[in-house]
Amino acid sequence: MLRSVKELNGYTIQATDGRIGKVSGFYFDDAMWTIRYLVVDTGPWLFGRKVLITALALGQPDWASHLLPVGLTKELVESSPDIDLARPVSRQLEVKLHEHYDWQPYWWALAQGAVPPPSKVQKEVVRVAEGDPYLRSTQEVVGYHIAALDGEVGHVEDFIVDDETWAIQYMVVDTRNWLPGKKVLVAPAWIEKVEWAESKVYVDLHQETIKNSPEYNPSAPVNRAYEERLYDFYGRPKYW
């Protein structure tokens, strides 16, 4: 199922022997547009310390209770490497985390070609596999301006992720500052480039096309019927 990142903020992370804390953010890699880590605020338990938990460590969520279980003990989390989230998450830190928790490194699969990437990101996958990761905070990217082929159209407001693969399927774009106010979805495959230093996302779509695209309603789930309509409108190949 597709879910909003904003909706998932505040979910409780449940260890095997108690609650660790609440989700306060996410990190994704800008090559595969996939969530790699959840940022967990441990609150009073560890005096507000924040820890990273790989999305691959999550068990079956209890969506009704807003609970995300992980096969970890509180002691293991408490002894995990310290993380300064004010600085970029380096590959060296990732290695330490994966060694501490005995997690399978996701970049091994990329290096071995176990995950066939789209052709447009082949070079990026090689870069990540060779140890030059570019992990981005979803919270940091919210607010980035969206530039169409003929001008700016809005800003990033949210992300829509697949709750099984943790792939980012869409950016939610709020157009209210440029076009008649509404929210629309843009898939990563339609992004030409991201200028991180400029805080700007360039898409290969025209303003008028985005203006007339099917409106996204945050209160309604993104289902396959809506996705069919979206892709048919843009005339783009479907990912499923």
Delineate the domains of the chain, giving CATH numbers in brackets: 2-135 (3.90.50.10), 142-234 (3.90.50.10)
- How many percent of the chain have pLDDT more than 70? 89
pLDDT of residue 110: 57
Asked if pLDDT for residue 109 goes beyond 80, the answer is no
Between 3-17, 57-71, 123-137, the lowest mean confidence (pLDDT) is in 123-137
Question: What one-letter code names the amino acid at 53?
Answer: I
pLDDT of residue 68: 97
pLDDT of residue 112: 53
Q: How far apart are CA 137 and CA 25, in angstroms?
A: 7
Asked if pLDDT for residue 131 goes beyond 50, the answer is no
pLDDT of residue 92: 87
What mean pLDDT is predicted for residues 192-208?
Answer: 94
Asked if pLDDT for residue 117 goes beyond 80, the answer is no
Residue 108: pLDDT band (50, 70, 90) is confident
Higher pLDDT, 108 or 93: 93
pLDDT of residue 118: 46
Asked if pLDDT for residue 124 goes beyond 80, the answer is no
The secondary structure of 119-146, three-state, reads: HHHHHHHHHHHCCCCCEEEHHHHCCCEE
Higher pLDDT, 83 or 14: 14
pLDDT of residue 119: 43
What mean pLDDT is predicted for residues 32-48?
Answer: 94
Span 12-24, pLDDT tens digits: 999 999 999 999 9
- How many percent of the chain have pLDDT more than 90? 76
CA proximity to 235, closest of 209, 207, 201, 203: 209
Higher pLDDT, 77 or 131: 77
pLDDT of residue 111: 52
pLDDT of residue 128: 47
Asked if pLDDT for residue 115 goes beyond 70, the answer is no
Residue 150: pLDDT band (50, 70, 90) is very high
Asked if pLDDT for residue 126 goes beyond 60, the answer is no
